[in-house]
Structure 1
Amino acid sequence: MWGVSYWVFPVISGLTWLGMLLGLLIHWTSTGKPHYPSMADNQTIAYISDVGAESLKPLFIAGSCVTTVFLDLAFISDVFLRNRGRLESLTGSGRIVSWLSLLFAAIGTAGLILLSIFDTLHHHKLHDVFLLLFIAGYVISAVFICWEYQRLGIRMSPPIPTQNHTQTNIKLTLSPTEFRQHRILRISFWLKLVFILLEVILAIAFGSCNFKEKYNAAAVLEWTIAFVFTFYVFSFFVDLIPAVRTRHGRAKGPMGGQTEMEAEAGAQGRNTADSERTLGMNDLETSNGGKRHAGLANNF
Structure 2
Amino acid sequence: MFHVPERYYHWSYVWIPIITGFVWYGTLWAMLITWLAQGRPRYVSQDGRIAYISDRYLRHSGRLLPHMRRREKVFSTLAVLGAFMGGCGLILLSIFDTKRYTSAHRAFLLVFMIGVALSAIFTIIEYHWIKKDFTFARELRIAYWAKGIIAGTLIILSIAFAVTLYEATDAGAVLEWLIAMLFTSYIWTYFYDLHQSKGVRKGELSEYKMRQPNIA
Q: Distance in 2 between the 1:129 and 1:153 partners?
A: 36
Q: Which amino acid counterpart does residue 118 of structure 1 have in structure 2?
A: F
Cα deviation per residue 1:5-49 (whole Å; 9 max; x = unaligned)? 321111121111001001100100011110011112xx1110011
Following TM superposition, by how much is the alpha carbon of 1:264 offset from its aligned partner in structure 2, in angstroms?
11
What secondary structure does 1:89 align onto? coil
Q: Which moved more, 1:233-242 or 1:196-205?
A: 196-205
Q: Which residue does the alignment assign to 1:93?
A: 71
Q: Which residue does the alignment assign to 2:159?
A: 204
After superposition, residues 1-16 of structure 1 pair within 5 angstroms as 4-16=11-23
Q: Which residue does the alignment assign to 2:177?
A: 223
After superposition, residues 111-260 of structure 1 pair within 5 angstroms as 111-157=89-135, 179=136, 182-212=137-167, 214-246=168-200, 248-251=201-204
Of 16, 33, 48, the match for 2:40: 33
Following TM superposition, by how much is the alpha carbon of 1:196 offset from its aligned partner in structure 2, in angstroms?
2.2
Q: Which residue does the alignment assign to 1:84?
A: 61
Structure 1 unaligned regions, length at least 5: 51-75, 158-178, 252-256, 271-300
Q: Which amino acid counterpart does residue 202 of structure 2 have in structure 1?
A: G
Q: Report if aligned partners of 1:6, 1:243 keep a CA contact under 8 Å in 2.
A: no
Q: What TM-score do the two structures reach when normalised by structure 2?
A: 0.88
Structure 2 unaligned regions, length at least 5: 1-6
Following TM superposition, by how much is the alpha carbon of 1:244 offset from its aligned partner in structure 2, in angstroms?
2.1
Following TM superposition, by how much is the alpha carbon of 1:250 offset from its aligned partner in structure 2, in angstroms?
4.2
Distance 1:218 1:258, change over 3 A: closer
Q: Which amino acid counterpart does residue 266 of structure 1 have in structure 2?
A: N
Following TM superposition, by how much is the alpha carbon of 1:4 offset from its aligned partner in structure 2, in angstroms?
2.1
* 1:45 counterpart = 2:50: yes
Q: Which amino acid counterpart does residue 185 of structure 2 have in structure 1?
A: F
Q: Distance in 1 between the 2:25 and 2:155 partners?
A: 20
From the CA coordinates, give the structure whose radius of gyration is larger. Answer: 1
Q: Distance in 2 between the 1:201 and 1:84 partners?
A: 35
Q: Distance in 1 between the 2:132 and 2:72 partners?
A: 12
Q: Distance in 1 between the 2:196 and 2:35 partners?
A: 40
What secondary structure does 1:105 align onto? helix
Moved >4 Å (runs of 4+): 261-265
Q: Which moved more, 1:22-31 or 1:197-206?
A: 197-206
Q: What TM-score do the two structures reach when normalised by structure 1?
A: 0.64
Q: Distance in 1 between the 2:149 and 2:176 partners?
A: 17
Q: How many residues align?
A: 207
Percent sequence identity is: 38
Over aligned residues, Cα RMSD in angstroms?
Answer: 2.2
Distance 1:112 1:88, change over 3 A: same
Cα deviation per residue 1:112-134 (whole Å; 9 max; x = unaligned)? 11111111122111110111111
